Structure 1
Amino acid sequence: MNFRYKGFFLLLFGILPFTHCISIIMAPQPLTVPQEKLVDGFVDTGKDKILIIPVEGEIFERKIPGNALTKDRDSLVSLVKIQLSLALKDPDIKAVILKIDSPGGSVTASDLIYHEILEFKKKKGIPVLALFMDVAASGAYYLSMATDHIQALPTTTTGSIGVIMFNINAKEALDKLGIKSMTIRSGPNKATGNPVEEFTPEQRKIYQDLIMENYERFLQIVKKGRPKLKESDVRRLADGRIYSVNQALQEGLVDSVGYFEDAIATATKLPGYRASRPGIIPKIIFYSYQRLGQENFYQIESNSLPANLLENVLPFKTSPDYRLHYLFSP
């Protein structure tokens, strides 16, 4: 390795642990139970509240693994469930706004959040609005079908209605190196998806059938969540493509276009919104794991536990993920 690069990595690994230790000493420890906080810029005028729940990043049901310097973090499914459970116990919460900025994620995780929102609405009887931020695609669009109104920013990208499974095949490259698979299996389809073996026609059909079954479920969820759309329209729109906000509005995939303040105004007009008294302006709140300070709407994150600096510097790789995904992945 070039001496200059050696020096850089020595400096990097010498400084980062030291700076992390300083941050541990000086920064307040995160809370184990989220606390209610007022969104900065909104006046506390009375008891009524509108809760902001962020749904950000890829949607998975498993914990986010830490490393030597960070703890495991709750999955997005768990974080949404925790916040809905807290909201269920608070009689002053009159509406919920999901702040969605996500390309989607696993089929199961997307469906779990969809289910939790429906159960919350059934028990609480208040409106839930989806506010699409930068991207709200695939699994993120799927879970928004449980809401009562979808508003998008003027620059939102949405759609990507479909199912995908990631896989690679390295057989040809390994054959050139004289490397062969020695997999021992109980049946011909037990190792389906093995990256060092070609798909047989039967194996490809197994996966295609699985994908199409989940695709059909996605279509039915969209049909239920967008009752004004004909099934033929849903199938036409659900070819995996993404849509600009103007296209989505024209096709009926979203209900309105606007900013955060517009979402607040819309939420107070949805069926099921019941103010404690006429004319009262609701407080805008969120739940946070941080002890200090208010946050404005754009700073509210799905998991506000601080990420370690190493995560932003080093290209850590995760193991291959062979699950089915409702995911926008160009």
Structure 2
Amino acid sequence: MNFRTKGFLLLLLGILPFTHCITIPLTPQPLAIPQEKLVEGFPEGGKDKILVIPIEGEIFERKISGNALTKDKASLVSLVKIQLALALKDPDIKAVILKVDSPGGSVTASDLIYHEILEFKRKKGIPVLALFMDVAASGAYYLSMATDHIQALPTTTTGSIGVIMFNINAKEALDKLGIKSMTIRSGPNKATGNPLEEFTSEQRKIYQDLITENYERFLQIVKKGRPKLKESDIRRLADGRIYSTNQALREGLVDSVGYFEDAVTTTTKLPGYRSSSPGLPPTVVFYSYQKSVPENFYQIESNSAEKNLLENILPFKTSPDYRLHYLFSP
């Protein structure tokens, strides 16, 4: 063991005794009042408004806590729900454009946003268009099945229809070091996925059944969202591969190709778009928060929430992720 390694271990050992008595409180921030802003490049038009809602980054249903080097990330499901709720109350909003730039995320979060969009359309009765930016894959494609039209940029990467679960097995390597699992369980499959133990054929089947069930759900969602596609074509396309814009358009996975101004024009021509100021262009807006976003069902923060000091100074100290994912992850 060299000097630098010894020094790091001594520092770590010096910190550990205090990790249970030193905490960093997370004081709640005042709730923000959303500000409606014009999208740059689109001057204020008539009374009609088109709301742009960004769906960017990996899709998760819960808030992701940061550490000393990273910031907290708000729940994307929560942010989308908040903006849809605001749009529901505004009679001047005649359509919504989802600005989608995401590789997907958890199965549950993708499905929740899909559900929220469908509920919004049912209550509001206005069109929703998905505009695919750089990447709109897997879970991002899943939730876009709730929209009325999908437009992609000429350079978009999309597809990746499928389910994935991440895991590793280090038993062989750890056996060489004399490290063995001491897990005590109530049944042989209680610790399924333990990286310190052999992954049995029965345990593999357990995971595969979960994957298959959620994959079949994905296919049914695509079937509802792309009614012109035959089920045999959907299954052929849904082998996990990604598609370019031209490929996706040719296969019927997207409806059109264009840029943001094209999406605005297309949105005004969709069924359900009812202008209250004919002859005037719509005003394109988005919601902006300067402080923390309001809490809702998908993001309820405790006033007494605390972070362990070690989690703040060690960015690699994270909990394992056992969720299923609709995620493009090469």
Tell me which interval the TM-score lies in, with the shorter structure as reference length. Answer: 0.7 to 0.9
What 5-or-longer segments of structure 2 have no aligned partner? 5-28, 292-313
Quote the residue 1:234 is aligned against: 234
Three-state SS of the structure 1 residue aligned to 2:179 is coil
Quote the residue 1:178 is aligned against: 178
Three-state SS of the structure 1 residue aligned to 2:113 is helix
Quote the residue 2:10 is aligned against: none
Q: Which amino acid aligns with 1:59?
A: I
Conserved 8 A contact 1:31-1:290 = no
Quote the residue 1:50 is aligned against: 50
Q: Which amino acid aligns with 1:45?
A: G
Quote the residue 2:100 is aligned against: 100
Three-state SS of the structure 2 residue aligned to 1:52 is strand
Cα distance in 2 for partners of 1:30, 1:233 equals 50
Conserved 8 A contact 1:50-1:282 = yes
1:79 aligns with 2:79: yes
**Greater alpha carbon shift after TM alignment, 319-328 vs 91-100:** 319-328
Quote the residue 1:249 is aligned against: 249
Conserved 8 A contact 2:46-2:277 = no
Cα distance in 2 for partners of 1:90, 1:317 equals 43
1:67-118 deviation per Cα after TM superposition (whole angstroms, max 9, x unaligned) = 3588744200000000000000000000000000000000000000000000
Quote the residue 1:110 is aligned against: 110
Cα distance in 2 for partners of 1:174, 1:70 equals 31
Quote the residue 1:132 is aligned against: 132
Three-state SS of the structure 2 residue aligned to 1:130 is strand
Three-state SS of the structure 1 residue aligned to 2:44 is coil
Conserved 8 A contact 1:46-1:283 = yes
Quote the residue 1:211 is aligned against: 211
Q: Displacement of 1:34 after TM fit?
A: 2.1
Cα distance in 2 for partners of 1:69, 1:317 equals 12
Three-state SS of the structure 2 residue aligned to 1:218 is helix
Cα distance in 2 for partners of 1:164, 1:173 equals 24
Q: Displacement of 1:160 after TM fit?
A: 0.2
Conserved 8 A contact 1:65-1:72 = yes
Q: Which amino acid aligns with 1:191?
A: A
Give the alignment's Cα RMSD to 1 decimal: 2.1
Three-state SS of the structure 2 residue aligned to 1:141 is helix
Conserved 8 A contact 2:156-2:245 = yes
Conserved 8 A contact 1:30-1:290 = no
Structure 1 residues 165-314: aligned runs within 5 Å? 165-290=165-290
Three-state SS of the structure 2 residue aligned to 1:169 is coil
Q: How many residues align?
A: 284
Quote the residue 1:320 is aligned against: 320
Conserved 8 A contact 1:31-1:289 = no
Conserved 8 A contact 2:48-2:277 = no
Q: Which amino acid aligns with 1:53?
A: I
After superposition, the Cα gap between the structure-2 partners of 1:167 and 1:92, relative to the gap in structure 1 and judged at 3 Å, is same
1:216-244 deviation per Cα after TM superposition (whole angstroms, max 9, x unaligned) = 00000000000000000000000000000
Conserved 8 A contact 1:98-1:130 = yes
Q: Displacement of 1:315 after TM fit?
A: 5.8
Q: Which amino acid aligns with 1:246?
A: N
Cα distance in 2 for partners of 1:317, 1:184 equals 24
Q: Displacement of 1:43 after TM fit?
A: 1.5
TM-score (norm 1): 0.82
Q: Percent identity?
A: 88
